[in-house]
Structure 1
Amino acid sequence: MATRLGETIASGMEDLIDLVETERELRDVWHWLPDEVSEFTIETWSEMTVTVAEPDSPYRPVNRFESFLQETTTFRFLRPEVALMEPCLDVLRQLIQDGVDITLVDRPSCHTYFFSTYPERSSEMVNRDNFTVLEHDELPPYGIGLLDDRVVISLYKQDSGAVQAVIDTDAPTVHEWAESMYAFFEGEARPPTSGSVVK
């Protein structure tokens, strides 16, 4: 039977192993992280789950994101990007039909893509009162999703827009930062122009 000292050491070792695992996962995507995230404490990092695309599993980050999307009752996203949202379009449509309040703030080119590629479905979605799309010309290079109490940070390859990694957490510090960032850009965003939306 372990002593209290032994239990404390064992618990400390488990925490250390968790931190090492998190550092290993973050190492490959560190240069893509927002500056504010890289400045969070080690304790906050330990509350993050990092899902990285691998050569034999390129959709791991998208699948992780979709699993949260299927369960959420609120959804706001800053720069969701085509590569992240297109595979989840059926789930998004179902959420809208279920009455979930959704707001997406993205670049005009992304809106143009969806309206030109899925004109009927996109028109149906934007005509719902619980679905809002806004556009902004100068978004950060990463995405920020707010799904209930969970924050999702999506990291994209800048040359292709492919999803490189998804970081998710319910850490209050990250949630506060994400809410602030989202509110700033949403406040500056505007409804899509006629050139972005194909009727």
Structure 2
Amino acid sequence: MAHTDTHGALDDISYLARSHHRVPLLVALATRPRSGAELRDLANVSSSTVRRTLREFETRRWVRKDGFRYEATELGAFVASSVEALVGQVETERKLRDVWHWLPGEESGFGVDTCVGAVVTVAESDDPYRPVNRFASLLRETDQFRFVGVGIALLEPCRDEFRRRVLDGMRAEIIDPPSVAEHILETYPDHCSKPLESDNFSVRIHDDPPPYGVCLFDRRVGVCGYDHDSGTVRVLIDSVAPEAREWAEILYESYYRESRPLRRETIL
């Protein structure tokens, strides 16, 4: 059985991680050959630092010199791609670690890998409406919209924008719990009347929707997490990844099948 030198692999990873310029330089060389001067300007480090780094890369057979330029070897390109992917995954985890408990659990089929490459918008103390504002910007860019969840904290601040979009032709379908539908209809009766009279907007009722929100736009899908104690949106994740779309479509359809059309008598 071949021996795996885990300690040696960790040494190489540690070497790349100890200085901020090393991974970008290796990734740059995997993209195309570059001169030492180009690498110096790219990494914003001294020429001597670039030379030392290139010597280390050559020792590991990650790069080779061709005249005045350096280029990544096949091994170096493999390492660059792998480390770049790892950095992206860790960056995603760092964005999610404080808000993950507000998002769908593993039982829903939603995993951290679903969020890789997604836009993660987190509410901050100095900007608590960042997720809501991100949602509003996505709403302005779509011609079709579907939503299931406990949506007051996300949809209510955008009610004017949502109404305009529906009356302008956006097709929308929302699956709400009875309490949310009742609150919206009783609080904003005039606001709701024209959209509900149009052929573009339908509301369905589900007695036990998910404790998070799932939004389906033309090109992106979004998942929002709530702090149910304060009633605020803490995070919105939106993605164009096919696996995220597939997950959202399956989940939405499962709630749609169990929902019923909105009628005043159904929520009273």
* TM > 0.5 fold call: yes
Q: Residue 158 of structure 1 is aligned with which of 228, 239, 244?
A: 228
Question: Once superposed, which parts of structure 1, at least 4 consecutive aligned residues long, lie more than 6 Å away?
Answer: none
Partner AA of 2:202 in structure 1: T
Q: Residue 110 of structure 2 is aligned with which of 8, 24, 37?
A: 37
Q: Residue 204 of structure 2 is aligned with which of 125, 128, 134?
A: 134
What is the CA RMSD across the aligned residues, in angstroms?
2.0
TM-score by length of 2: 0.67
**Partners of 1:190 and 1:178 in 2: how far apart?**
19
Superposition deviation, residue 140 in structure 1:
1.1
* 1:190 and 2:263 are equivalent in the alignment: no
Q: Residue 181 of structure 2 is aligned with which of 89, 111, 117?
A: 111
Pairs within 5 Å for 1:10-89: 10-34=80-104, 35=106, 36-38=109-111, 41=113, 44-79=114-149, 81-89=151-159
Identity of aligned residues (%): 45
Partner AA of 1:4 in structure 2: A
Pairs within 5 Å for 1:89-108: 89-108=159-178
Mind listing any 5+ residue stretches in structure 2 that lack a counterpart?
Answer: 1-33, 35-69
Superposition deviation, residue 176 in structure 1:
0.5
TM-score by length of 1: 0.89
- 3-state SS, counterpart of residue 153 of structure 2: helix
Partner AA of 1:117 in structure 2: T
**Partners of 2:150 and 2:220 in 1: how far apart?**
15
* Per-residue CA distance 1:110-165 (angstroms, 9 max, x = gap): 11111111111111211111100111111111111100121100111122321011
**Partners of 2:258 and 2:81 in 1: how far apart?**
46
Counterpart in 2 of 1:3?
71
Count of equivalent residues: 195
Native 8 Å contact 2:150 2:177 kept in 1: no
**Partners of 1:123 and 1:69 in 2: how far apart?**
20
Native 8 Å contact 1:81 1:161 kept in 2: no
**Partners of 2:126 and 2:115 in 1: how far apart?**
26
The structure having more radius of gyration, on CA atoms, is 2
Going from structure 1 to structure 2, the CA distance change for 1:152 and 1:80 (only over 3 Å counts) comes to: farther
Counterpart in 2 of 1:175?
245
Native 8 Å contact 1:115 1:197 kept in 2: no
* Per-residue CA distance 1:35-56 (angstroms, 9 max, x = gap): 2212x53xx4322221111111
Native 8 Å contact 2:146 2:217 kept in 1: yes
